[in-house]
Amino acid sequence: MNPDIINYVIVPLLIFAARVVDVSMGTMRIILVAKSHKLMAATIGFFEALIWAFAIIQLLENLTNPVTYIAYALGFAAGTYVGVVIEEKIAIGNMLIQVITKEEPKDLEEALRNAKFRHTSLEADSNEGRVNIVYIIATRKNYRRISSLIKTYNPKAFFSVEDINIVQQEIENVITVGKTDELLSIFKKAFKRK
pLDDT tens digits, residue range 50-83? 999 999 999 999 989 999 999 999 999 999 999 9
Q: Which of 48, 63, 90 lies at the terminal end of a domain, its last residue?
A: 90
The residue among 62, 90, 118 that closes a domain is 90
Residue type, 179: K
Do both 84 and 111 map to the same domain?
A: no
Which of 146-155, 170-179, 184-193 is predicted least confidently? Answer: 170-179
Q: Structural domain of residue 179, as residue ranges? A: 94-193
Same domain, 137 and 159: yes
Looking at the 3D structure of the chain, how many domains does it have?
2
Average of per-residue pLDDT values in the chain: 87
18: confidence class by pLDDT, cuts 50, 70, 90: very high
Count of CA atoms in the C-beta half-sphere (13 A) of 190: 21
Number of neighbours of residue 62 by Cβ within 10 angstroms: 19
**Do both 82 and 115 map to the same domain?**
no
Q: Check residues 149 and 37 and name the one with the higher pLDDT.
A: 149
Secondary element (H or E) of residue 48:
helix 38-61
Q: Which pLDDT score is estimated for 93?
A: 84
Is residue 128 scored above 50 in pLDDT? yes
Task: For residues 36-40, give the mean pLDDT.
Answer: 90
Same domain, 129 and 65: no
Query: Does residue 158 share a domain with residue 79?
Result: no
Tell whether the model's pLDDT for residue 175 goes beyond 80. Answer: no
Q: What is the pLDDT of residue 172?
A: 43
Beta strands (DSSP E) in the chain are: 94-101, 119-126, 129-139, 158-164, 167-171, 174-177
Q: Are residues 100 and 168 in the same domain?
A: yes
Give the contacts of 19 (CB within 8 A, at least 6 positions apart). 52, 55, 71, 72, 74, 75, 76, 78, 79
Q: How far is CA 28 from CA 40, 45, 78, 87, 130, in A?
A: 10, 9, 14, 7, 42
Give pLDDT, residue 167: 59
* Same-domain pairing of 179 and 101: yes
* pLDDT over 50 at 179, yes or no: no
CATH number of the structural domain spanning residue 189: 3.30.70.120
Instruction: Give the domain-ending residue among 69, 90, 111.
Output: 90
147 in the same domain as 179: yes
pLDDT of 193 over the 50 cut: no
Name every residue whose Cβ is closer than 8 Å to that of residue 169 and which is 6 or more positions away in sequence: 175, 176
Q: Is the pTM of this model over 0.75?
A: no
